[in-house]
Amino acid sequence: MLALFDLDNTLIDRRAALETWARVFVRSRGLPQDAVSTICGQLRARAYPEDFARLGRVLGLGEAPGDLWQEYVDGIAQSSRCFPGVPEGLEALRAEGWTLGVATNGARDIQRAKLHAAGLAPLFHGIGISEETGSRKPAGGHFEAAAELCGAKLSAGGWMVGDGPETDMEGGRAAGLRTAWVAHGRRWNDGLPAPDLVVQGAAEAIKRMRRSV
Ligand SMILES: [Mg+2]
């Protein structure tokens, strides 16, 4: 059985990593404390190299955007941690013969750096990153490409696990997958068709998916 996983705030705690990095960065440049929330606000949804030109301007830094981006990639990778129970759960799925993939929107270098730093990369059969696949969730092409990288086909069914109601759940459902929504305490209220499972974390999703087969 195929299981695709979103990366940010599903397998790894991106929010915490971003806050940690922003605090360290602000201290290193002697910026005022409220720059932490400016940085987190600018980069909360997504971060690409081009975002660092804007951020540098907003913060009044005269540094090359490419250097800021590299500092961000290295710093975020260093602070990236999996949510509890994730590696053990993925190992158990693999041992039971599941095919595991990542389906994530983002830039190649940062997404790969996070997966490696958190020790997750070797647990997946395929890693689908939008910058590499050329399509972003919720587009069906992204899920297709991620499955293909795992040597699997969406037509055989499977699961999509993620925290994004539209990108992960609606996209996964439209691609023919069963869906597990990582709620992190939120309620499902987006007026979208309900996911198959609502869980508080990826480890719980894994436990319940294992019981479902
Ligand atoms: Mg996410």
pLDDT at residue 24 in the model: 97
Mean pLDDT confidence for 108-114: 95
Residue 124 has pLDDT above 90, yes or no: yes
CATH topology of domain 2-13+83-211: Rossmann fold (3.40.50)
Taking the C-alpha atoms of residue 42 and residue 21, their distance in angstroms, rounded to an integer, is 13
Ligand 1 centroid to 5 CA: how many Å? Answer: 9
Ligand 1 centroid to 159 CA: how many Å? Answer: 15
Ligand 1 centroid to 44 CA: how many Å? Answer: 11
Ligand 1 centroid to 105 CA: how many Å? Answer: 8
Integer CA distances (angstroms), 112 to 1, 95, 116, 213, in order: 24, 23, 6, 30
Taking the C-alpha atoms of residue 39 and residue 76, their distance in angstroms, rounded to an integer, is 13
Ligand 1 centroid to 13 CA: how many Å? Answer: 9
Ligand 1 centroid to 102 CA: how many Å? Answer: 11
Mean pLDDT confidence for 186-199: 92
pLDDT at residue 80 in the model: 92
Ligand 1 centroid to 62 CA: how many Å? Answer: 32
Integer CA distances (angstroms), 64 to 51, 68, 69, 150, in order: 12, 7, 9, 37
Average pLDDT along the chain: 96
Residue 69 has pLDDT above 80, yes or no: yes
pLDDT at residue 98 in the model: 98
| Band (206; pLDDT cuts 50, 70, 90) | very high
Residue 208 has pLDDT above 80, yes or no: yes
Ligand 1 centroid to 150 CA: how many Å? Answer: 20
Mean pLDDT confidence for 9-27: 97
165 burial via Cβ count (<10 Å: 0-12, 13-18, 19+):
buried
Mean pLDDT confidence for 195-199: 97
Mean pLDDT confidence for 158-171: 97
| Band (189; pLDDT cuts 50, 70, 90) | confident
Residue limits of CATH 3.40.50.1000 in the chain: 2-13+83-211
| Band (185; pLDDT cuts 50, 70, 90) | very high
Share of the chain above pLDDT 90, in %: 97
Ligand 1 centroid to 11 CA: how many Å? Answer: 8
pLDDT at residue 213 in the model: 81
- Burial pattern 39-65, b for ≥16 Cβ within 10 A else e, equals beebbeeebebebbeebbeebebeeeb
Taking the C-alpha atoms of residue 10 and residue 100, their distance in angstroms, rounded to an integer, is 14
Taking the C-alpha atoms of residue 125 and residue 138, their distance in angstroms, rounded to an integer, is 21
